[in-house]
Amino acid sequence: LESSLLTQPWASVCFGESAFLAKAYFRDTGYILLISDLSSIWYESADSAAVGQRSKELNKRLTVHVSSFLHHLRNLMCPLLAGQPDATTSFSCHRSADGLRLHVKSELSGLPFYWDFHCCPAPVEMVSRHLVRPLISMSLALQYQVQELTSLLLQKDAEIEDYRESGATLSRDRLRTEPFQEETFQQNFMAEVRSGVS
């Protein structure tokens, strides 16, 4: 389950009035859910036996196969993670010292359907695998991209300057640009980042 979760993208979601990042993976034999508020990360991994036991406790009037519960849970969570939550389904969460509980209220076969995801703090290795390593990899890729774009801009400026020295002129003055100043660009960019964070 967790290896399959690695292929799932993070999504920005709201549970009640709280904003989170979340990702999930469901199949007929269980599910895994990862939730973060960027201060803490919680997860739950449940197999079919755990799902069957909890469904009996929460939905005494429903008698459907465990795979049907899992299919329904997937149909409730996937639209939410895709930014298209179902108006007939409500989500709420409760944080405590030992974890986070995500409560779901919906319908199944015309009857009320309830589910609680019991999430505990994620181990360090899981946090590293799903959040830290991907973020560092993306940061390095973006740094490389910025370096390549900076190099390209400086080459373009040199090419334009060569045209000017050869007597070429712009047919439209509004297209004129100032030479790229890498240091000034970096300073302005970091100032914008800091103001955005504050």
Which whole number is the average pLDDT over 134-147? 91
Q: Is the per-residue pLDDT at 197 higher than 70?
A: no
pLDDT at 104: 92
End-to-end CA distance of the chain: 38
Beta-strand ranges (E) seen in 39-154 are 41-47, 90-96, 99-108, 111-121
Tens digit of pLDDT for each residue in 142-175?
999 999 999 999 999 999 889 888 988 888 888 8
- Listed in sequence order, the residues at least 6 apart from 190 whose beta carbon sits closer than 8 Å to its beta carbon are none
pLDDT at 69: 86
Distance CA 17, CA 6 (A): 27
Q: Which fold has domain 128-192?
A: Helix Hairpins (1.10.287)
Q: Is the per-residue pLDDT at 44 higher than 90?
A: yes
What's the DSSP call for residue 48?
H
Going from N- to C-terminal start, the domains of the chain cover: 1-122, 128-192
pLDDT at 174: 83
Distance CA 93, CA 17 (A): 9
Q: Which residues pair with 101 in a beta bridge?
A: 94, 118
Q: Which fold has domain 1-122?
A: Dna Repair Protein Xrcc4; Chain: A, domain 1 (2.170.210)
